[in-house]
């Protein structure tokens, strides 16, 4: 005979029952504590328009992404690459400087490794990833387009020590983690390094091979049921050294040079979470962040395309340093149908960017002159900009759900943005209505502001940290503090409307349209001027100076002085057909020109259509 019951040890006993036996058997089962491995529970946020909640490990398996999370995000509607080389995100038409990147509730700048080649995020150490492609929460500000929010995961609680490793096409990754039973907590430590410079460079004799090294850790302890303390940090360095070529320069445009580029950044975050009751909680965050880079480059080239130059030389020194202290306080209160959230953030930023061209012959090079003729001679031979400022913001929002089928959020933010004494009021509203079972309508409206800053300038142009500083359209002179203080913050108004239809428990269809109105965008000053230009006479030898006529041409020059002269309109429609959480068929249309792109991995297919 056998007796079983969930939560108890099974009971088994052999019995011999005669034909005349009549008796009562009492069975006492011993209690058994069930044992299981760690269970991770996650769910998508469905009541925020233009929001995607993603699993980093699944996202890293996207085909063609090389386990880089930024590249994997290209499979989402409205998210496009800036180009094929760098992992910058263009989200609903907004530039990379208009996207806020948040790690452990802290804003980070220039979130890339190998100077834009891969993102900072390690899929083995992230716990959750939220992408707000529009109408993002009021606790985030000083950006116009989108927010990418990530948090480190906690360590395993199933063992005192475990070890895991991963090797991808770009890097090798090692993670150790464990449980802290005495403090009801956990820990993990990771190390990641690329091996391109160690293996591929020597094999194919590359003169320039980038590399990066990174370490991360997080510790979480719960000394009591009401208190939780977290300490997280990372330290990373990347760069490359260019080896001087010894080959003879016999071809037009052949390059021989030397130099080095390096970067070092780190983040340390201390978080205290206090939950005195089931309806009230608070969180205090203190962090220190730094991102810096240096470049010392020289390059000799042969160019005989015009009679004006035969051997231009490019040599420059460059340095950028972004430092930030942040103190954040947030409160959460649940009161019936209301869910209130309020908070304030104080930042102190110390930012600088310095550039010096050591040899002015670069002005005569055709490679640079082509840019200067196209845009005007706007870049000075040296830049020295430094901005030190405080930034404070406060917000409050209320999520009110009067019925099961309807809710709305009222969000209000007040910010004193840097580089000017002005304050900005940023109201935002979102709502969701379930029309019938499985069919809901979503809408959002909000005003967003973005201030001028060296950190955003570098986010927009990661090429400033590499070799392509020849584009004068990307240069703003921030050395005049009075001129900078007269600027207004850039402004965007988001209008979002969508419909969501669920088909059973597996399939879901989302159609969402958006419109963004941009004003006060900071651009370079335009100035009309008369310049001398050489024109080749018909049928003449282009290598002879006598073959050219010098004529006076009226031209628009771009000066590095910043002004609020840019405006824009961005609109689009996105269609998402999804099965479960990792099978998607998406189509996105909007604007006058749309890209055509397709990727497939893990039963995921994405299509962009051109109209």
pLDDT at 428 over 90: yes
Instruction: Specify the pLDDT at position 256.
Output: 43
- The average pLDDT across 492-510 equals 90
* CA atoms of 294 and 403, how far apart (whole Å): 57
Question: Which of 144-153, 317-326, 370-379 is modeled with the greatest confidence?
Answer: 144-153
Instruction: Specify the pLDDT at position 222.
Output: 95
Q: Buried b vs exposed e over 455-489: b needs ≥16 C-beta within 10 Å?
A: bbbbbbbbbbbbbebbbbebbbbbbeeeebeebbb
Instruction: Specify the pLDDT at position 226.
Output: 93
Phi, psi of 417 (to 5 degrees): -80, 155
Between CA 267 and CA 80, with CA 173 as vertex, the angle to 5 degrees is: 70
Q: What is the mean pLDDT of the chain?
A: 78
pLDDT at 53 over 50: yes
Instruction: Specify the pLDDT at position 76.
Output: 86
Instruction: Specify the pLDDT at position 13.
Output: 77
Instruction: Specify the pLDDT at position 205.
Output: 60
- The average pLDDT across 252-277 equals 76
- The average pLDDT across 255-267 equals 70
Instruction: Specify the pLDDT at position 236.
Output: 92
Instruction: Specify the pLDDT at position 366.
Output: 43
Instruction: Specify the pLDDT at position 603.
Output: 41
- The average pLDDT across 264-268 equals 93
- The average pLDDT across 231-241 equals 87
What's the DSSP call for residue 381? Answer: S
pLDDT at 290 over 50: yes
Rounded to whole angstroms, what are the CA distances from 442 to 445, 446, 447, 495? 11, 14, 18, 11
Which stretch of 113-117, 118-122, 511-515, 567-571 has the lowest confidence by average pLDDT? 113-117
Cα Rg of the chain (Å, integer): 29
Q: How confident is the model at residue 411 (pLDDT cuts 50, 70, 90)?
A: confident
What's the DSSP call for residue 200? Answer: I
- The average pLDDT across 422-438 equals 90
* CA atoms of 435 and 387, how far apart (whole Å): 51
Q: Buried b vs exposed e over 257-291: b needs ≥16 C-beta within 10 Å?
A: bebebbbebebbbebebeeeeeeebbbebebebbb
Which stretch of 158-167, 220-229, 494-503, 532-541 has the lowest confidence by average pLDDT? 532-541
- The average pLDDT across 344-356 equals 89
Question: Which of 230-234, 534-538, 603-607 is modeled with the greatest confidence?
Answer: 230-234
586 vs 211: which has the higher pLDDT: 211
Which stretch of 347-351, 444-448, 457-461 has the lowest confidence by average pLDDT? 457-461
Task: Detail the DSSP E strand segments found in 359-460.
Answer: 382-403, 406-416, 423-436, 439-450
Question: pLDDT for 54-75, tens place per residue?
Answer: 888 777 777 666 777 888 888 8
Which positions ≥6 away from 23 have C-beta within 8 Å?
Answer: none
The DSSP bridge pattern shows strands 406-416 and 382-403 to be: antiparallel
Instruction: Specify the pLDDT at position 201.
Output: 60
The DSSP bridge pattern shows strands 89-91 and 79-81 to be: antiparallel
- Residue 511's CB is within 10 A of a number of other CB atoms, namely 15
* CA atoms of 120 and 192, how far apart (whole Å): 11
424 vs 37: which has the higher pLDDT: 424
Q: How many C-alpha atoms does 493 have within 13 Å on its Cβ side?
A: 6
Rounded to whole angstroms, what are the CA distances from 567 to 90, 165, 180, 337? 18, 49, 54, 40
The pair of structure tokens assigned to 106 is 């802290």
Instruction: Specify the pLDDT at position 303.
Output: 37
pLDDT at 103 over 80: yes
3-state helix, strand, coil split of the chain in percent (to 5) is 10, 55, 35
294 vs 289: which has the higher pLDDT: 289
* CA atoms of 229 and 87, how far apart (whole Å): 33
pLDDT at 586 over 60: no
Q: DSSP letters along 114-152, please? A: TTTTEES--TTTEEEEEEE-SS--TT--S-SSEEEEEEE
Instruction: Specify the pLDDT at position 288.
Output: 97
* CA atoms of 433 and 48, how far apart (whole Å): 12
pLDDT at 449 over 90: yes
The CATH number, out of the four listed (3.30.200, 3.30.56, 2.40.170, 1.10.3470), of the domain defined by the range 51-608: 2.40.170
- The average pLDDT across 276-289 equals 96
Instruction: Specify the pLDDT at position 242.
Output: 57
pLDDT at 584 over 60: no
pLDDT at 591 over 60: no
Instruction: Specify the pLDDT at position 37.
Output: 46
Q: How confident is the model at residue 206 (pLDDT cuts 50, 70, 90)?
A: low
180 vs 257: which has the higher pLDDT: 180
Closest-CA residue to 173 (of 164, 181, 161) = 164
Tokens 């009075």, residue located:
482
* CA atoms of 511 and 443, how far apart (whole Å): 12
How long a stretch of residues is the chain? 611
Domain residue extents for the chain: 51-608
Instruction: Specify the pLDDT at position 470.
Output: 45
What's the DSSP call for residue 488? Answer: P
Which stretch of 97-111, 193-207, 442-456 has the lowest confidence by average pLDDT? 193-207
């Amino acid at each position: 005979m056998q007796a079983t019951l969930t939560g108890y040890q099974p009971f088994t006993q052999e019995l011999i029952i005669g034909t005349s036996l009549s008796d009562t058997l009492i069975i006492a089962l011993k209690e058994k504590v069930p044992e299981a491995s760690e269970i991770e529970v996650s769910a998508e946020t469905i009541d925020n328009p233009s929001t995607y909640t993603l699993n980093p490990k699944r996202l890293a398996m996207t085909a063609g992404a090389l386990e880089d999370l930024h590249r994997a995000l290209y499979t989402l509607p409205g998210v496009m690459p800036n180009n094929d080389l760098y992992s910058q995100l263009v989200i609903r038409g907004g530039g990379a400087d208009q996207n806020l990147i948040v790690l452990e509730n802290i804003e980070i700048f220039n979130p890339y490794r190998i100077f834009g080649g891969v993102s900072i995020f390690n899929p083995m150490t992230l716990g959750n990833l939220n992408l707000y492609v529009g109408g993002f929460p009021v606790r985030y500000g000083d950006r116009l387009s989108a927010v990418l929010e990530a948090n480190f995961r906690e360590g395993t609680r199933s063992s005192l020590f475990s070890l895991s490793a991963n090797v991808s096409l770009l890097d090798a990754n090692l993670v150790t983690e464990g449980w802290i039973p005495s403090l009801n907590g956990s820990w993990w430590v990771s190390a990641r390094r690329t091996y391109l410079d160690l293996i591929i460079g020597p094999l194919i004799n590359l003169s320039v091979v980038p590399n990066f090294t990174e370490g991360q850790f997080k510790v979480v302890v719960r000394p009591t049921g009401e208190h939780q303390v977290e300490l997280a940090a990372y330290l990373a360095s990347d760069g490359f050294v260019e080896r001087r070529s010894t080959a003879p320069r016999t071809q037009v445009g052949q390059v021989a040079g030397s130099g080095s580029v390096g970067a070092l950044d780190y983040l340390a975050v201390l978080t205290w979470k206090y939950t005195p009751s089931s309806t009230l909680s608070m969180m205090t965050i203190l962090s220190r962040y730094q991102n810096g880079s240096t470049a010392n480059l020289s390059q000799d080239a042969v160019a005989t395309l015009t009679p004006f130059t035969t051997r231009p030389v490019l040599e420059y020194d460059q340095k950028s340093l972004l430092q930030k202290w942040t103190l954040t306080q947030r409160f959460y209160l649940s009161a019936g149908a209301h869910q209130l959230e309020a908070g304030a953030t104080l930042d102190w930023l110390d930012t600088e960017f310095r550039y010096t061209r050591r040899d002015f012959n670069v002005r005569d090079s055709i490679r640079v002159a082509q840019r200067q003729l196209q845009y005007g001679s706007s870049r000075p031979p040296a830049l020295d900009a430094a901005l030190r400022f405080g930034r404070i913001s406060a917000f409050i929002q209320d999520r009110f759900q009067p019925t099961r089928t309807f809710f709305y959020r009222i969000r209000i933010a007040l910010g004193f943005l840097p580089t000017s004494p002005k304050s900005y009021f940023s109201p935002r509203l979102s709502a969701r209505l379930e029309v019938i079972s499985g069919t809901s309508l979503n809408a959002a409206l909000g005003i967003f502001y973005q201030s001028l800053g060296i950190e955003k300038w570098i986010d927009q142009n990661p090429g400033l940290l590499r070799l392509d500083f020849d584009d004068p359209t990307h240069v703003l002179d921030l050395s005049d503090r009075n001129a900078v203080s007269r600027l207004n913050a850039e402004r965007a108004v988001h209008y979002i409307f969508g419909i969501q239809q669920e088909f059973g428990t597996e399939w879901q269809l989302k159609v969402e349209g958006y419109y963004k109105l941009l004003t006060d965008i900071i651009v370079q000053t335009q100035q009309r001027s008369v310049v001398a230009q050489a024109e080749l006479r018909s049928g003449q030898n282009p290598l002879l100076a006598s073959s050219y006529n010098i004529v006076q041409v009226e031209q628009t020059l771009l000066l590095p002085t910043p002004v609020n002269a840019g405006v824009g309109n961005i609109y689009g429609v996105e269609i998402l057909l999804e099965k479960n959480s990792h099978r998607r068929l998406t189509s996105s249309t909007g604007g006058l020109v749309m890209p055509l792109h397709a990727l497939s991995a893990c039963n995921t297919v994405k299509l962009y259509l051109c109209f």
